[in-house]
Structure 1
Amino acid sequence: MPKTITIIILFLLSMSIHAEEIIKSDQIKHQWNCFGGTFSDYDKWRTSIKEKNARKIKSEEQLKKFMASLDSMFGKEQFNQYKATLACRNFQYTVNGHLVNGYVIKPKSTQNKLPVLIYNRGGNENFGGVVFASMMRNLFPIAAEGFIIIGSQYRGTFMPQSTVGDEFGGADVEDVISLLEFIPDIESADPERIGMYGASRGGMQTFLILKKSKNIKAVATIAGNSDLLKGLKERPKMERVYKARIPNYEQDKVAELEKRSVLKWVDELPTHVPVLLMHGTNDTRVDVSHSKELAVALEKHDIPHKLVLFEGDNHTLSKNKTRANKELVKWFRDHL
């Protein structure tokens, strides 16, 4: 079974688990527990991953190494700690009549109002969608530090019957902006302290939204592409993604890519919102020069910023995940 179909099936199966609502809004169509079904128990989740990969990894020794890597990256103790301390819900909402998937994560025990972070994922359509493993790896550690995290999967993602798709920085930007409406309805959320961060394509998304919204107090990006035309020369295979996703791409390629390139309109960004840029110097998907050049442009326009480079690290900062998370947490604690 193709990987994408497997992910969709697991995602849809988890929807049957009823959960207490975190967002008290009539605009939310359905909420279900992230820690439901296959993900209700670490051993159950681990077994499902082992069975799925056993069909692809023929060597027993290689499978053992893969599972050992999984346990070192996540682990039962960490899983149980997150399950005990964090509330996590997937939900569905509508944007201009179209159904979209989202998610919200928050600490369970709090007596104070908490700052809210909108997370913009990378990838396109189902590729890069925020599944449980990516929540465990990228979002739970930040939420556990005292933040509420809310995010959109973007239109078309995990929606087999959807009539609309991801436009890679087009109408899908509205899917993220719409989340701002729900923040006052999230238990314990402080609507006066909203930050936003994004990884890879999510960096592009973050600046597109920052240009439109006046509610964001601070932003951060991880391996963001600041110039899509330049990026296309560096990684020509992205042309296939752009042709499939971006409306009017083949008729006006340059204009559509420049619309999505923050380096072309830095002067339209608010000058009071601080920007954190993080990038690995060995990133082969989005060259580190994208963050370096953006830092120069931000300096030129007197926009407060910080550039953090991770020497020898890759697109996901996998060698410096803990350090990167600390940078994010400190940034938003200092500026929200």
Structure 2
Amino acid sequence: MSLNRILTVVFLTLILALSGTQSAYAEDGAIVSREAYDFPFATYEKWLEFSDRAPDPAWHAAQMKQLVPQQDYERYASNQTVQAERIEYLSDGLRIKSILVRPAKVIKPLPIILFAHGGVAQWGKITFFEILEFHRLAEQGYIVVASTFRGEGGSEGWPNLGVGDRADLMNLIKMAQGLPEADEEKIGLWGFSRGAGLGYRVLAVTDIIDAAFFIGARTDHLNSKRRAEFDEFVYPDVVDAYAADKDAALRPLSPLFWPEKLSTKTPIYLLHGTADQRVEAWNSIAMARKLDALNRPYELLLINGGSHYLIEHQQRVRQEMDRWFAKHLKLQGS
């Protein structure tokens, strides 16, 4: 084989090797793929039919019609006013799947809202209803970004309730700040359930969040009424060093034990249903008392009889969320 032939083979082999490992040479927060997001239901009626199969009647078509009228759904799906994309970005070298929804026309840098989803491991996901809410917020002039954390929803890696999911959220911030249409100095954080608990851990390591809105957050994992259930089925697989010392492993996940570490600059809205059977309302009540004692900016709303998801009170949730983010993320007169 000639020298030129050998060099050509070596060169092509090198190119193939590099193309298969390109993510290893990119920084965390870098976007490695993006494509248009297509609604999973062909029609509005198909989505309503799917909704009627939910075990909880609060999610059935009658409620969904009230929350997302057909004209809104079809406008979102057609990309008339907003555009949605599937994006993969890097976090600790892992490809993390995410959703980005923004206004179709951008004439000035826009505030960012990060969403941190509920559930963990096989239960960790972003629901389609939440994606519809991203569209609603994007129509108001926000860029909304959300990721399914490592090991969940097709993201690479193993689920991790700790340094792993926090790194994924911090790198989501980095990714969002790099978007040319984003105002990197205006960032809101909306967290639900596990995602709200993660939000507290993010506020312990950064002052970059301008407003946080937490729904149904567990602030004390040690004294949860579901501790035995999670001890058996959840924590051993997703919490680092859990077997060695269970309480010691759960304390860093429980902001009730370290409220003084939270950013002094970030106002926090705590929202909880009093009938929440998954995360007891005392988690937010106790946290509010800690924040009050530290003279930190916060608001607390308890919705009487509200469930964990608060879907039966979604209009009130929207009202409070919209007010909170408009107050803290938008300029006067914008």
- The yes-or-no answer on 1:148 pairing with 2:143 is yes
1:42 paired residue number? 44
SS in 1 for 2:34: strand
Unaligned 5+ segments in structure 2 are 1-27, 330-334
Q: What aligned pairs does 1:91-240 form with structure 2 within 5 A after superposition?
A: 91-136=87-132, 138-159=133-154, 162=156, 164-231=157-224, 233-234=225-226, 236-239=228-231, 240=233
Tell me, in whole angstroms, the C-alpha distance in 2 between the residues paired with 1:85 and 1:303: 37
Tell me, in whole angstroms, the C-alpha distance in 2 between the residues paired with 1:223 and 1:140: 22
Letter in 2 for 1:112: K
- Structure 1 residues 281-315: Cα deviation after superposition (integer angstroms, max 9, x where no partner): 11011111100000000011111110011111100
1:238 deviates by 2.2
Unaligned 5+ segments in structure 1 are 1-24, 58-62
Alignment partner of 1:297 out of 290, 296, 302: 290
- Structure 1 residues 239-288: Cα deviation after superposition (integer angstroms, max 9, x where no partner): 21112211211211101111100111101112121111000111011111
CA contact (8 A) 2:191 2:213 kept: yes
Letter in 2 for 1:80: E
Moved over 4 A (4+): 43-47, 65-73
1:13 paired residue number? none
- The yes-or-no answer on 1:248 pairing with 2:248 is no
26 and 274 in structure 1: CA distance in 2 versus 1, 3 angstrom threshold: closer
Letter in 2 for 1:191: E
What TM-score, normalized by structure 2, do the two folds share? 0.81
CA contact (8 A) 2:29 2:91 kept: no
Tell me, in whole angstroms, the C-alpha distance in 1 between the residues paired with 2:106 and 2:260: 39
2:260 paired residue number? 267
- Structure 1 residues 87-121: Cα deviation after superposition (integer angstroms, max 9, x where no partner): 11111112122111111111213423221111111
Tell me, in whole angstroms, the C-alpha distance in 1 between the residues paired with 2:100 and 2:311: 24
1:6 paired residue number? none
1:235 deviates by 5.2
Tell me, in whole angstroms, the C-alpha distance in 2 between the residues paired with 1:264 and 1:66: 39
Larger radius of gyration: 2
Tell me, in whole angstroms, the C-alpha distance in 2 between the residues paired with 1:66 and 1:196: 28
